[in-house]
Amino acid sequence: MLFIFLFSLCFIISCENKFGPPRTDYKTGEIPDQESWNSTVIFSDSGRIKAILKAGHISVYNSRNYTLVDDGAIVDFYDRNGEVVSTLTGKRGKVLEPSKDIEMYDSVIVVGKKNNTLVTTKRMNWNNEKQRVYSDAFVKIKTEKEEIEGFGFESDQNLKNYKVFKVTGILTK
């Protein structure tokens, strides 16, 4: 009897709340169909990895055809050789179904790994099919040779060939 009591006591003490209450999408008032914490999602096509998303919290809303990511999100984009070419980070975002396009919001940063290009903005999108990043928000781009600011941005996911629309300033080093 003492053994059962001690076992029960240890079980109760060792339990912790690893699962929080379901989060509600405040825009719709809808409770998610699925949730996960500290998760990784792989975007692939024909066995080739295109991107890997890591997020602190993921909420899937099947009826709305999207998945919300928050508590920090990191997306690594891969080239055909399986190497990371750029990384997109933000505090929160959305994965649109069925296209698997990604929208990232709040303190967004995109870093090109091979050319040391840094893009900062409030909002950035990734088109899964075209493998391009774009934004209609104010952006700051910093490279080894220049700093550019403007409204609107489009680039390949490598950040090699980019366009800035409505340029507001250029500083050449």
Q: What is the mean pLDDT of residues 116-124?
A: 93
Least confident span in 54-58, 101-105, 144-148: 144-148
Q: Which domain holds residue 63?
A: 31-172
Task: Return the CATH number at 88.
Answer: 2.60.450.10
Mean of the per-residue pLDDT values for the chain?
A: 84
Predicted pLDDT of residue 103: 95
Kindly state whether residue 96 falls inside one of the protein's structural domains. yes
151 falls in which pLDDT band (50, 70, 90)? very high
Contact 14, 6 (CB under 8 A): no
17 falls in which pLDDT band (50, 70, 90)? very low
Kindly state whether residue 85 falls inside one of the protein's structural domains. yes
26 falls in which pLDDT band (50, 70, 90)? low
Q: What is the mean pLDDT of residues 85-113?
A: 93
Kindly state whether residue 9 falls inside one of the protein's structural domains. no
Side chain identity, residue 152? G
101 Cβ contact partners less than 8 Å away, ≥ 6 residues apart: 95, 125, 126, 127, 128, 129
Predicted pLDDT of residue 145: 83
Tell whether pTM > 0.85: no
Domain count, the chain: 1
Kindly state whether residue 6 falls inside one of the protein's structural domains. no
Kindly state whether residue 26 falls inside one of the protein's structural domains. no
Kindly state whether residue 117 falls inside one of the protein's structural domains. yes
- Compute the C-alpha angle 123/74/144, nearest 5°: 70
Predicted pLDDT of residue 75: 93
Kindly state whether residue 2 falls inside one of the protein's structural domains. no
Name the helix (H) or strand (E) containing 38.
strand 34-45
Predicted pLDDT of residue 146: 83
Kindly state whether residue 7 falls inside one of the protein's structural domains. no
16 Cβ contact partners less than 8 Å away, ≥ 6 residues apart: none
Predicted pLDDT of residue 27: 64
